[in-house]
């Protein structure tokens, strides 16, 4: 008996020791290192900027991406174009690293092992987390480099409001990533159905939206005004349309616990209480119900346009006229939530970092952003890309895309602060609680408090 007890005690001690030894190793977060130095005043260095003195000849750039099938094909064409045409003999080597969630995990493992790619695709908030581990190179010195950067004319051609999420207040306002295209969340609506109800256009205010939703709702026919699919992006859209924001401009404080945030939640609650909105059970179920004429409105990404189109063309309800527009808004001007992935350069040697930048710059040429945008049904981030004949042709064939394009100037970006992925979860839970009957004010305050804790932890 005593022997057994001794064994048991030894075993327990060993287990505890083992777990304790495992614990620090097992944490997947990389060791916190200091963020890169504050932005250097690059303007004053125009004469002698260090980047312009580098020679990127012969560098090989390892590029982790998330593209498959037609996206991958387009990306390979751009990469081949660069590899064959750049005068420095730089070679970009692409590697598929899974979808957004997968590549994120792969990079976190790589950071821990001390081996990261030279270039990778990611959402700006993921890049913010990599940057906290000290592995990301700010892009401003490259952009402003006399020899390798953008010319003043090129700079004027970019729609910088679409790149706002790549600029990091907590890293001295520098760009940590760069995007070549963006999509946005728009309102999809059934034109024919609205006409049948006696309306000649989409709703401009939320009151009109609700009125139309109520008219379209018919329990007997099983139709509703709004097929709701909740997400933090939708909440951001709603808050923007009431004139609010998700976090403060400096990314330090939660800002959605404002009047705008409350109005957004009250609107949701109201739509659900009055029975004209319902939550879809499956992913992209709103697309399905819209195509089958069971819902008058949905909100979704413009990247989904071709899928809406094919779903509508083949639906049982038969094809009908449909369009997209900015969400209803209480702000003087419309506002749309713009999002999309970016590309970031990882620290290596200055020459290879520059080689990575030169590829990003090549990718940003009008022909390439246009090609990339048309493949992903995204929008190019530079104005001149729109004037290209192939882009004009594409817009002619895709009227909803053209319509959405006119909304780009109203684009605003969701926050891209480190920890935002977690905050998105908190916001989604809050929305769920409210449509299930919770008090908007209480839910909002509780969520804001949790979100603030996440922001503080990620400082």
Partner 1 sequence: MTTWTLSLGQQRIRLRITPMRVVLYLVLIAGAFVAMFPFIWMILTSFKSYGEVTAGRFFPRELRWQNYVEAWNAAPFGRYFLNSLFIAMATIAGDLFSGILAAYAFARMEFPGRNVIFFLFLATLMIPGELTVLPNFLTIRRLGWYNTYQAQIIPFTASVFHIFLLRQFFMGIPREYWDAALLDGCSHFRYLWSIVVPLSRPAVVTVALLSFIGSWNAFLWPLIVTSSENMRPIQVGLRSFVVEEATQTQLMMAAATMVIVPIIIFYLFTQKYFTEGLTMTGLKG
Using the rule CB under 8 A, is 31 a contact of partner 1?
A: no
Site for partner 1, residues 203 to 262, rule: CB under 8 A: none
**For partner 1, which residue of 1, 152, 200, 283 counts as binding (CB under 8 A)?**
283
Q: At its nearest, how many Å lie between partner 1 and the CB of residue 372?
A: 13
Using the rule CB under 8 A, is 314 a contact of partner 1?
A: yes
Using the rule CB under 8 A, is 113 a contact of partner 1?
A: yes
For residues 130 and 35, give the distance between their C-alpha atoms in angstroms, rounded to a whole number. Answer: 10
In 3-state terms, what secondary structure has residue 300?
Answer: strand
Looking at 2-10, 163-171, 212-220, 233-241, which segment touches partner 1 (CB under 8 A)? Answer: 2-10
In 3-state terms, what secondary structure has residue 439?
Answer: coil
**For partner 1, which residue of 46, 53, 80, 99 counts as binding (CB under 8 A)?**
99
Per-residue b or e along 5-15, where b marks 16 or more CB atoms closer than 10 Å to that residue's CB = eeeeeeeeeee
Under DSSP, the state recorded for 382 is B
Burial class of 380 by CB neighbour count within 10 A (0 to 12, 13 to 18, 19+): buried
**For partner 1, which residue of 46, 60, 250, 313 counts as binding (CB under 8 A)?**
313
Burial class of 429 by CB neighbour count within 10 A (0 to 12, 13 to 18, 19+): middle
Q: At its nearest, how many Å lie between partner 1 and the CB of residue 134?
A: 18
Looking at 110-118, 244-252, 262-270, 327-335, which segment touches partner 1 (CB under 8 A)? Answer: 110-118
**For partner 1, which residue of 152, 153, 200, 316 counts as binding (CB under 8 A)?**
316
For residues 270 and 111, give the distance between their C-alpha atoms in angstroms, rounded to a whole number. Answer: 46
**For partner 1, which residue of 91, 146, 288, 347 counts as binding (CB under 8 A)?**
288
Q: At its nearest, how many Å lie between partner 1 and the CB of residue 140?
A: 29
Under DSSP, the state recorded for 299 is E
In 3D space, the residue among 53, 72, 52 whose CA is nearest the CA of residue 63 turns out to be 72
Identify which of residues 142 and 189 has a Cβ nearer to partner 1 in the complex. 189
HSE (CB half, 13 Å, CA atoms) of 119?
28
| Chain contacts with partner 1 (rule: CB under 8 A) | 7-8, 10-11, 14-15, 18-19, 22, 25-28, 68-69, 71, 95-99, 102, 105-106, 109, 112-113, 115, 183, 283-284, 287-288, 291-292, 300-301, 303-304, 307, 310-316, 376
């Amino acid at each position: 008996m005593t022997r057994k007890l001794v064994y048991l005690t030894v075993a327990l001690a060993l287990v505890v020791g083992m777990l304790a030894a495992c614990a620090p190793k097992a944490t997947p977060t990389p060791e916190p290192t200091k963020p890169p130095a504050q932005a250097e005043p690059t303007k004053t260095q125009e004469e002698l900027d260090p980047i312009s003195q580098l020679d990127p000849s012969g560098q090989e750039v390892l590029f982790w991406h998330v593209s498959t099938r037609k996206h991958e094909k387009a990306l390979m064409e751009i990469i081949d174009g660069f590899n064959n045409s750049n005068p420095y003999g730089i070679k970009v080597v692409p590697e598929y690293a899974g979808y957004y969630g997968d590549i994120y995990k792969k990079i976190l493992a790589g950071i821990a092992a001390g081996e990261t790619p030279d270039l990778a695709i990611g959402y700006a908030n993921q890049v913010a987390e990599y940057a906290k581990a000290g592995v990301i190179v700010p892009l401003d010195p490259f952009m402003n480099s006399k020899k390798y950067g953008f010319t003043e004319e090129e700079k004027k051609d970019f729609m910088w409001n679409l790149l706002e999420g790549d600029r990091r207040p907590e890293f001295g306002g520098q760009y940590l990533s760069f995007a070549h295209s963006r999509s946005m969340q728009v309102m999809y609506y059934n034109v024919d159905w609205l006409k049948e109800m006696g309306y000649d256009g989409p709703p401009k205010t939320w009151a009109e939206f609700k009125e139309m939703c109520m008219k379209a709702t018919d329990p007997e026919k099983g139709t509703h005004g709004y097929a709701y699919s909740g997400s933090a992006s939708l909440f951001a859209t709603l808050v923007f349309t009431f004139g609010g924001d998700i976090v403060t401009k400096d990314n330090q404080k939660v800002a959605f616990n404002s009047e705008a945030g409350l109005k957004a939640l009250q609107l949701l609650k109201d739509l659900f209480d009055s029975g004209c909105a319902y939550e879809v059970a499956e992913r992209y179920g709103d697309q399905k119900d819209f195509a089958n004429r069971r819902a008058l409105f949905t909100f979704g990404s413009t990247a989904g346009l071709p899928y809406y189109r094919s779903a509508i063309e083949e639906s049982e309800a038969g094809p009908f006229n449909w369009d997209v527009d900015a969400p209803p808004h209480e702000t003087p001007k419309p506002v749309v939530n713009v999002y999309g992935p970016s590309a970031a350069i990882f620290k290596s040697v200055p020459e290879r970092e520059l080689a990575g930048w030169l590829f990003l710059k090549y990718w940003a040429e009008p022909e390439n952003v246009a090609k990339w945008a048309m493949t992903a049904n995204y929008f190019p981030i530079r104005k001149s890309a729109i004037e290209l004949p192939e882009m004009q042709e594409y817009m002619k064939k895709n009227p909803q895309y053209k319509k959405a394009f006119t909304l780009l100037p109203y684009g605003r970006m969701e926050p891209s602060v480190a920890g935002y992925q977690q905050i998105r979860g908190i916001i989604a839970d809050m929305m769920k609680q409210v449509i299930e009957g919770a008090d908007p004010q209480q839910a909002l305050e509780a969520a804001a408090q949790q979100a603030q804790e996440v922001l503080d932890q990620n400082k």
